[in-house]
Amino acid sequence: MILDSETHEIVRGFFETKVLQISTNPMFKLTSGKESPVYLDHRKIFSNVSLRKKIITKWAEFLKTEFPFMFDSGNVVFAGTATAGIAPAYALAEYFNAGFVYVRSKPKQHGLTSVIEGTLPSNSNIFVIDDMITTGGSVIQAVDYIKMEPIKSVVASSISTHNLKKSSDFFNSKHIVYKSLFKTTDLFDIAYAKDFINGREMKLIMEWLTQLDE
């Protein structure tokens, strides 16, 4: 990824809209019960028109560059993971005038017991979309469901990733290609250069990321 001026402005926007927050004393308490000096809430992106447009435009260009073969047939569908991937997948589908579905974490217990909501045409090229890839579990589960359908190709993408070795190993073991728009280490580097993060905070964040990959 090229860390251009636009990316710097996006990082500024992340802090201004509290998409990205830092707290080291006390740290954030996550749903897992673990503590984190970083809190990333990508959902806030889609409440802010300016930031949303910047992200979706940059992400769309990124996908066209990284996966040009996915757009060859014109039969492209963006599949959002439930629930965090729904908004970004729909926004990308609108940008490309493409199809949209979302993938439940498990089949419905009533009606048609669907796991994929929406219409998934045969022989489509599918982008499975999430907001954040940490371990990759929810994305891989969604890809597994998508692969049960008569599709052509599937790749995965997210706005951000911690780029952990264990998540990369997980994707490789499943033979799933994925690429994220941003690595959080790049975002933290920009934030540090712009004085949004001080030296002590940066040190704690890097230590925390190392612990995540253990």
Label residue 33 by pLDDT band (50, 70, 90).
confident
Is residue 33 annotated as involved in ligand binding?
no
SS3 134: coil
Answer yes or no: is 135 a known binding residue: yes
The DSSP annotation for 172-190 comes to HHTT--EEEEEEHHHHHHH
To the question of whether residue 108 is assigned a binding role by annotation, the answer is yes
Burial class of 46 by CB neighbour count within 10 A (0 to 12, 13 to 18, 19+) = middle
Residues 39, 187: Cα–Cα separation, whole Å:
13
pLDDT in tens, 48-59: 999 999 999 999
Tell me what pLDDT residue 35 has: 92
**Does the annotation flag 13 for ligand binding?**
no
Task: Single out the residue of 205, 200, 160, 154 nearest to residue 179, CA to CA.
Answer: 160
Q: Which one, of 161, 192, 191, lies nearest residue 179 by Cα?
A: 161
The predicted pLDDT at position 109 comes to 64
Find out whether 110 is annotated in a ligand binding site: yes
pLDDT of residue 2: 46
- Taking the C-alpha atoms of residue 103 and residue 176, their distance in angstroms, rounded to an integer, is 17
pLDDT tens for each residue of 112-121: 568 999 999 9
27 is in an annotated binding site: no
Is 137 annotated to bind a ligand? Reply is yes
- Please tell me whether 132 is known to bind a ligand: yes
pLDDT score, position 1: 42
133 is in an annotated binding site: yes
What is the band of 3 on the pLDDT scale with cuts at 50, 70, 90?
low
List pLDDT tens digits, range 65-84: 999 999 987 799 999 999 99
Nearby residues of 112 by Cβ (< 8 Å), 6 or more positions away: none
Does 7 carry a binding-site annotation? no
In tens, the pLDDT along 94-144 reads: 999 999 999 998 876 665 568 999 999 999 999 999 999 998 999 999 999
Tell me, what's the pLDDT at 4?
86
pLDDT average, residue stretch 13-38: 92
| Mean pLDDT, residues 150-165 taken together | 96
Residues near 87 by Cβ (< 8 Å), separated by ≥ 6?
Answer: 43, 46, 80, 131
pLDDT at 113: 67
Region 181-188: mean pLDDT is 96
Look up residue 183 and give its two tokens: 């690595």
What DSSP element (H or E) covers 159? Answer: strand 153-161
- The CA-atom distances, in angstroms, between 38 and each of 25, 41, 69 are 11, 10, 36
Report the b/e string of 104-126 with b at 16+ CB within 10 A: beeeeeeeeeebbbeebeeebbb
Is residue 52 marked as binding?
A: no
Residue from 68, 97, 67 nearest 179 by CA: 67
46 token code pair:
């889609």
Domains of the chain (ranges, CATH numbers): 5-213 (3.40.50.2020)
